[in-house]
């Protein structure tokens, strides 16, 4: 179990250069966009755990279809957008 880093909180994601994407909960839409981690930290705090999060997911509003609620995806700093 070496080489693993903890990616539990918003602050940890940011400090490791990871990005957070929100995806529309409506299957027929499937639109996704990158979320502003700085804004999320301002709103929920750097110690807010994204594991088991419901608040961020519920607050997601799709810019395409207006659907409320979605899912989160973590993307590594060197990976292409999902
Ligand atoms: Zn949508």
Rg (CA), the chain: 13
How far is ligand 1, taken at its centre, from the CA of residue 74, in Å? 19
- Ligand 1 center–CA 22 separation, angstroms: 10
pLDDT for residue 61: 96
- Distance of CA 2 from the midpoint of ligand 1 (Å): 39
- For 8-67, the DSSP string reads -BHHHHHHTT-EEEEEES-TTT--EEEE-HHHHHHHH-TT-B-TT--HHHHH-B-TTT--
pLDDT at 78 over 80: no
Instruction: Report the sign of the C-alpha dihedral through residues 32, 38, 40, 46, in that order.
Output: positive
Confidence of residue 79 (pLDDT cuts 50, 70, 90): low
Instruction: Quote the pLDDT of residue 46.
Output: 97
Beta strands 19-24; 70-75: pairing state: antiparallel
Q: How far is the CA of 57 from the centre of ligand 1 (A)?
A: 13
CB of 44 closer than 8 Å to CB of 10: yes
Q: List pLDDT tens digits, range 19-71.
A: 999 999 999 998 999 999 999 999 999 999 999 999 999 999 999 999 999 99
Q: Does pLDDT of 72 surpass 80?
A: yes
């Amino acid at each position: 179990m070496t080489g693993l880093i903890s990616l539990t909180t918003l602050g940890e994601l940011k400090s490791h250069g990871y990005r957070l994407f929100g995806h529309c909960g409506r299957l027929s839409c499937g639109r996704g966009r990158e979320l502003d981690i700085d804004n999320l930290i301002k709103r929920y705090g750097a110690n807010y755990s994204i594991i088991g999060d419901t608040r961020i997911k519920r607050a997601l509003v799709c810019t395409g279809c207006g659907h409320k609620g979605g899912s989160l995806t973590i993307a590594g700093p060197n990976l292409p957008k999902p």
